Amino acid sequence: MRVSVIVPTFNRKASLERCLKSLQNQKFSATEYEIIVIADGPTDGTEQMMMGFTADPRIRFLVQSNRGTAAASNSGIAAATGDLLIFIDDDCICDESLIGAHAEAHEDATRGVVLGPVFLHPDCPKTAVNDLVKQCGERDFERSTSDGVTRRDLMTCANSSIPRSLFEEHWFNPDFRRSHDVELGIRLQRAGVRVRYAPNAVVYELYDKSADALVGDAASQAAKEVILSRQYPEFRAISNIAAWALSSAWKRAARRAIACLPVSPEPILRFLLQVLETLPDARFSQGAAQRLVKLRVGTAFCRSAIAETGSWRQLQEMFCRSVPVLLYHHVGVDYAKALGQLSISKRDFERHIYWLANSGYVGIRLSQYLAWRNEGTPLPRKPVVITFDDGYSDTATNAFPILERYGFSAASMIVTGEIGGVNRWDLELGMPPLRIMDASAIRYWANHGIEFCAHSRTHRDLRSLEDEALDSELEDSRFDLEQVTGQPVRAFAYPYGLFNKRVQQHTGKVFDLAFTTVPQLSNLATDPLCVGRIEPARTDRYFGFSFRVRWGWSPIPRITTKIVRVLRSMLEAIRFAGTSTPSSNRGC
């Protein structure tokens, strides 16, 4: 047998019947696939309905006591004989090419998981809940077809396939009656299993849940996300809770206000939704109903997550912490003659470090940042990452001793092809030559609190390079630096901060972290291959620098610019009034 289709079910005989009929009508050789149906403690007459399918030799029906979907799926797989396993939910209607599309996706003999799209079936009733589900399905399809499968695509059910030999190395964990598919996905990613997307392997879901059921699912999902994050710390970065850190300030404030109310607003929201559904103006009521459903789901999700973690503060600590990553280039005495805005004087740099130390910030290493992100290792209360691009010799002379004096570590990004040389990439732009650290300076500071990371070999725009040249810039820069320091190199900074999806994909094969020049705070939801950095201005003083560290940007330049414009306007008005001659009425 080539393919085994696994269909766990629980009290959905009507939708299950339509699912099985769609699986019987596949454009795939009937002798090369089987359908295993596992009823998990049915009480709705599923067994009687299945008697109508017993004549089909492809279908086998198993019944077990109610132990959850994970246990049911495991039982079905144990009875299956196919080399390829396809998981289908019992409320899905399969496209006639589904099995063939999954089988074709595995023809390259690469052991991995294949995911297919799940759309809302046209027969589903027109409700606010179903409209939201339809929008989510279409958005996921567009994202997956354009960007491919991402780290967030962990589910191994609904419409997925996996070689039997690979699944038998892992199996579903029956302790997870919900989110068992995500839990397996985490373990598969830990094992380095590749996940691919098959846009032609389509199923249509017969979604019939009410808003109340959706709210209940959201509360259960939030609790499971917290539990999974405790067991698998790397899951935090792709959880829905961590994504809160990317929302606007007012949304975070509103979420906190609603979530921390002593009494849940759910009864009021449910009543308002019931009222909206009775209004005659369908266009108005439908849009408002969708927003209310979102609010109900979000409220239930947030309150459940808080209940599972213990408090709002613990939830923020676990999922929503932000880490400022500062970016400097050249630290020297005569910065005006060096690199202009990319330079800062030794005095101003020390002011920045003094403010950080006096405000309770602790400089952390990139290894600590990765351990926090991937392993859940706690960070100091106020962490900060300090980075330097290009590796100028003046930076080692002027900046590193200051950091050492205040007890701060830092990361220096080195252009390895110019170790001991000069900044040739700047010369092309008409800037003056500056010395780059030599190997002895790199080795010295590598043993005194500075981490050294790659910044390519020649500081070229990586987007313009062919794949072979791009891989050489990445791999050789890492090799060069490891030869000098004798330490592993795990981070990279894109030259000029420029990259695209192709560059990002190649970088991810070599490094665990990659930095851009986008000014933003870093958090768990930040793509590890697109970590933004905040570049303090050489004119920043107390308030300007503090704003950048705390918010990721400073309003001071904008305020200053507006004040200057107002003053200039006032001066021009005064000058015009002083130079103009008032008109006089003189007789002829």
Confidence (pLDDT) at 289: 82
**Residue pair 299/266 in contact by the 8 Å Cβ criterion:** yes
What residue ranges do the domains of the chain occupy? 3-208, 228-319, 322-556
Q: 525 by DSSP, 3-state: which?
A: coil
State how far the Cα of 379 lies from the Cα of 371, in Å rounded to an integer.
Answer: 9
State how far the Cα of 456 lies from the Cα of 472, in Å rounded to an integer.
Answer: 9
For 280-321, the three-class secondary structure string (H helix, E strand, C coil) is CCHHHHHHHHHHHHHHHHHHHHHHHHHHHHCCHHHHHHHHCC
- What's 333's DSSP letter? S
Q: Which residue has the tokens 């068992």?
A: 180
What number of other Cβ atoms are within 10 A of residue 120's Cβ? 19
Burial of 449 (0-12, 13-18, 19+ CB in 10 A): middle
Confidence (pLDDT) at 588: 34
**Residue pair 64/72 in contact by the 8 Å Cβ criterion:** yes
What are residue 194's phi and psi, to 5 degrees? Answer: -80, 140
Q: What share of the chain is helix, strand, coil (3-state, %, to 5)?
A: 50, 15, 35
State how far the Cα of 311 lies from the Cα of 308, in Å rounded to an integer.
Answer: 8
Structure tokens at 26: 């596949």
* 3-208: CATH number: 3.90.550.10
**Residue pair 418/424 in contact by the 8 Å Cβ criterion:** yes
Angle subtended by helix axes 180-190 and 69-79, to nearest 10: 60
**Residue pair 149/230 in contact by the 8 Å Cβ criterion:** no
**Residue pair 214/297 in contact by the 8 Å Cβ criterion:** yes
Chain centroid offset of residue 572 CA? 51
State how far the Cα of 264 lies from the Cα of 239, in Å rounded to an integer.
Answer: 23
Structure tokens at 454: 């790659």
Q: Please give the span between the terminal C-alpha atoms of the chain, in angstroms, as a whole number.
A: 116
Q: Do domains 3-208 and 322-556 have the same CATH topology?
A: no
How many residues in the chain? 588
Structure tokens at 138: 């279409």
Confidence (pLDDT) at 146: 60
Q: Are strands 322-323 and 522-523 parallel, antiparallel or unpaired?
A: antiparallel
Confidence (pLDDT) at 441: 96
Structure tokens at 555: 């309003």
**E-assigned strands of 370-509?**
383-390, 410-414, 450-454, 491-493
**E-assigned strands of 108-224?**
112-115, 118-120, 159-163, 194-197, 203-205
Q: pTM score, two decimals?
A: 0.81
Confidence (pLDDT) at 155: 63
State how far the Cα of 480 lies from the Cα of 457, in Å rounded to an integer.
Answer: 9
What are residue 86's phi and psi, to 5 degrees? Answer: -120, 125
What number of other Cβ atoms are within 10 A of residue 88's Cβ? 27
Distances (CA, A) of 579 to 59, 217, 362, 570, 586: 98, 75, 58, 14, 21
- Which residues sit opposite 389 in a β-bridge? 413
State how far the Cα of 404 lies from the Cα of 217, in Å rounded to an integer.
Answer: 51
Q: Are strands 194-197 and 513-515 parallel, antiparallel or unpaired?
A: unpaired
Of residues 97, 58, 85, the one with CA closest to residue 157: 85
The domain 322-556 having CATH identifier 3.20.20.370: the answer here is: yes
Confidence (pLDDT) at 210: 86
State how far the Cα of 51 lies from the Cα of 488, in Å rounded to an integer.
Answer: 62
Confidence (pLDDT) at 586: 43
pLDDT tens track of the chain, all 588 residues?
699 999 999 999 999 999 999 999 999 999 999 999 999 999 999 999 999 898 899 999 999 999 999 999 999 999 999 999 999 999 999 999 999 999 999 988 778 899 998 988 888 888 878 888 888 777 776 766 665 555 556 666 789 999 999 999 989 999 888 789 999 999 998 888 888 888 899 999 988 888 888 899 999 999 999 999 999 998 998 888 988 877 776 777 887 888 778 888 888 888 888 887 777 665 556 778 888 888 888 899 999 999 999 998 899 889 988 999 999 999 986 555 566 778 888 999 999 999 999 999 999 999 999 999 999 999 999 999 999 999 999 999 999 999 999 999 999 999 999 999 999 998 887 888 899 999 999 999 999 989 999 999 999 999 999 999 999 999 999 999 999 999 999 999 999 999 999 999 999 999 999 999 999 999 998 999 999 999 998 777 777 888 888 888 777 766 666 776 777 777 777 777 766 555 444 443
State how far the Cα of 323 lies from the Cα of 406, in Å rounded to an integer.
Answer: 19
